[in-house]
Amino acid sequence: MESVPDEMNAGLQGLGLLDVGARARGEPLSGGVSSDIWHVVLPDGREACIKRALAKLKVAADWRAPIIRNRYEARWLARAAEAVPGAAPALLGQDETTGTLAMEWLPPDRHPVWKARLRDGHADPAFAAEVGRRLARIHAFAAARPELSADFPTDSLFHAIRLEPYLVATAQVHQDLAPALVGLVARTASTKLTLVHGDVSPKNILVGPDGPIFLDAECAWWGDPAFDLAFCLNHLLLKCLWNPAAASDFLHCFEVLATAYLAGVAWEAPATLEARAASLLPGLFLARVDGKSPVEYLTEEKDKDRVRRVGRKLLRCPPDRLRTVRAAWGEEIGA
C-alpha cells in the first residue's frame, strides 16, 4: 500500500479520522474520470473510501468543473440515506478545505459494480426494477421537501458537468439538430422539481446484498428527475452494442426499470415525466458518441453510426413514450 496524497491526508485529519501527524495508507482506485479515489486503511485499522474532485476531468476533451462539487455529493449521500436506508454509502464526512470526501468502504467481493455484471451478460430484471424503484423513492422524498433546494445551488455546476459536455457539445457536432438539443438544455435547466443525482450510470451502482447502492453524486442538482431516468436508461440501450448476445435482456431491463420508476412518481403526472425523459433520451444517446464523454466501449464507426442513426431520427421527431425509444433501437439492432 502507498501513502495517500498530502491533500487527502490533510482532509482525513480535518475530518477527525486521522490524528495530526499520522499518515493513512491505501491504494488508488481506477475507473473514475472526475476524481482521485482511494481505498484507505487508517492507523487504527478502519477502512474507508475517500475521493477528491479534479478540476480537469480525465477525458480527451478539455472538460473542467468546479471542485466544490464534493460538497453537494456529500449532501446527496446524506439525503439518499434518509430516503432509502442502504441506497448510498454511509457518509463519514466532507472536508471543504481540501475537497476530501470520506465514506464507508464497501468490499468489492460483496458489492460488484453493475456495469461489470452487464458487461458479462448478467441482466437481472429484478435488480433493474429495484434501481428504478429506489431512484423514484429518493426523488419522491426530496420532492416532498422543497426546502432542500436551498442546499443544492448547483445550476452552473450541473451545466458545466452535464448539460454542456453532453447536449451543447453534441449540438456543435450535429448543427442541423442544434435547435432541438439546445431546447432540451433549456427545458431541463428550467425544470425544478426534486433532488437529482445526475450520473445514474451502471458504473455508479453497486449490486449490494440488499439491493442497489448509488455512488458518485458529484452532479447533484435540484432540477428535473427525468434526467436521472433518461441517463440510466441510456446506458441499457448502449450496452446492447457492448454485449450483443444479451441485447434482448438489456432491453427487458430497460422496460422493467422504467415501469418500476414511473410507478413511484407521485409529485407530478407520470406521463408528463415520461414525456420529458423520452424526448431527452435521444439527445443523451447521441451525446455518448459525439459529446465530450463518449462511452469507451464503442470504438467501431459502424456501431457509432447506429447510435447516430437512431438518435438523429428521434431528435427530429421527439417521442413522448419510452417504449418508442426502445422500439426504435430494437428495430435497429434486431432485438
Spatial distance between the Cα atoms of 111 and 35, rounded to a whole number of angstroms:
20
Q: Determine the residue type at 261.
A: Y
Can you give the pLDDT at residue 59? 44
CB 164 within 8 A of CB 111: no
Mean pLDDT confidence for 84-88: 97
Q: What is the pLDDT of residue 42?
A: 86
**What pLDDT does residue 60 have?**
47
Q: Percentage of residues in the chain with pLDDT exceeding 90? A: 81
Q: Does domain 2-104 have CATH number 3.40.50.1000?
A: no
pLDDT at 90 over 50: yes
Is residue 62 over pLDDT 70?
no
pLDDT over threshold 50, residue 83: yes
Q: Which of 40-44, 110-114, 153-157, 247-251 has the lowest mean pLDDT?
A: 40-44
Q: Please report the pLDDT score of residue 55 as a whole number.
A: 58
Q: For residue 206, what are the β-bridge partners?
A: 113, 213
Mean pLDDT for 238-256 is 97
Task: List the beta strands (DSSP E) in 163-272.
Answer: 194-196, 205-208, 211-214, 221-223
Instruction: Read off the pLDDT of residues 160-170 as tens digits, 9 standing for 90 and up.
Output: 889 999 999 99
In the chain, % helix, strand, coil (3-state, to 5) comes to: 55, 15, 30
pLDDT for residue 43 is more than 90: no
In the chain, where are the structural domains located?
2-104, 114-333
Interhelix angle 322-333/247-263, rounded to 10 degrees, is: 180
Nine cell digits for residue 61 = 476533451
pLDDT tens for 302-326 read 999 999 999 999 999 999 999 999 9
What pLDDT sits at residue 63?
47
Looking at residue 2, the DSSP 8-state letter turns out to be E
pTM comes to 0.93
Mean pLDDT confidence for 8-34: 85
Which residue from 208, 174, 168, 172 is spatially nearest to 188, judged by alpha carbons?
Answer: 168
Q: What cell was used for 144?
A: 416532498
Residues 6+ apart with CB under 8 A from 68: 53, 96, 99, 157
φ and ψ of 143, to 5 deg: -60, -30
Q: What mean pLDDT, rounded, does the chain reach? A: 93
Rounded to an integer, the average pLDDT of 120-140 is: 97
In whole angstroms, give the CA distance from residue 69 to residue 181: 25
CATH number of 114-333: 3.90.1200.10
Long-range contact list for 28-32, CB < 8 A, 24+ apart?
A: 28/2, 31/113, 31/203, 32/58, 32/216
Whose cell is 407520470? That residue is 270
Q: Which amino acid is it at 277?
A: A
Residue 69: pLDDT band by 50, 70, 90 thresholds? confident
CB 287 within 8 A of CB 314: no
- Separation of alpha carbons 51 and 99, rounded Å: 8
Task: Determine the pLDDT at residue 36.
Answer: 83
